[in-house]
Amino acid sequence: MTAIGLVWSGSVGNAEIIESNKFLPEGITIKYSQTDSDVAVPAPITRNRLLEMAISPDIVEAARIFSGPEISAIGYACTSASYVRGMGGDVEISMNITSTTGLPSTTTSTSIVNALNHLGSRRISVLSPHVDELNNRLRIFLEEYGFEVVHMRGLNKLRGIEEISSTDISELVEHLVDSKDADSIVVSCTGMKTAEIIDQLENKIGKPVIPALTATIWECLRLAGIEPNIKGKGMLMSQIG
């Protein structure tokens, strides 16, 4: 059985595992690893903290367990730590993982960029749970990769992202669509739960919605040579090629 590996920053709970598995084709599994950072007491999600995480050897050390033959690709499943250093900082993380494990790898931010390019999106709106300091870094990162961010909606959370419900996310995305014209909507942060709403939401707004976790799994599957082709989990997952 083919598996992909996800490196999580901090602890991986049942909610994250359940959400991730909803985006998998039949016969594919996910193996999880976590960095040592913030496992016991999660630190506030600030720019300085994320800069420390982005260059921490914890990421590569957590990826080492994925060196077995059953793992085909690895994803670093943290959006903010992979965009906080700007264009190229994301690629450096995945290069370090690949050089250590010998496996193709990606980060969530890289995956979002590739997903947007795959869908032909240039003008985007973004929903982020984070504070403005980080949202500005995300805007810069996306603009460096050639996208126009027409609207950014931040929720100013330092902690407690898991408390944001799927219903809240759906309503916030609908308001983003009302505000300005965009080709696609990006939902930043792998902790944002969208699996149960994405198909209905896209049908309602008529635009692709790219959640961070979905993009990460999509990219890992492609790196593993697998076309997702999953119906009911969003336009990105249902496309072939």
What are 71-106's pLDDT values in tens digits?
999 999 999 999 999 999 999 999 999 999 999 999
- pLDDT at position 147: 98
- Tell me what percent of the residues of the chain surpass a pLDDT of 90: 68
What pLDDT is recorded for position 40? 42
Helix (H, G, I), strand (E, B) or coil at 96: helix
Higher pLDDT, 36 or 28: 28
Q: Which residues contact residue 145 at a Cβ distance below 8 angstroms, ignoring those fewer than 6 apart?
A: 87, 113
Give per-residue pLDDT as tens, 197-218.
999 999 999 999 999 999 999 9
The answer to whether 240 and 229 have CB atoms below 8 angstroms apart is yes
CATH architecture, domain defined by 2-238: 3-Layer(aba) Sandwich (3.40)
Average pLDDT, integer, range 146-151? 96
217 within 8 A of 190, measured Cβ to Cβ: no
**Which two three-digit tokens encode residue 82?**
């992979």
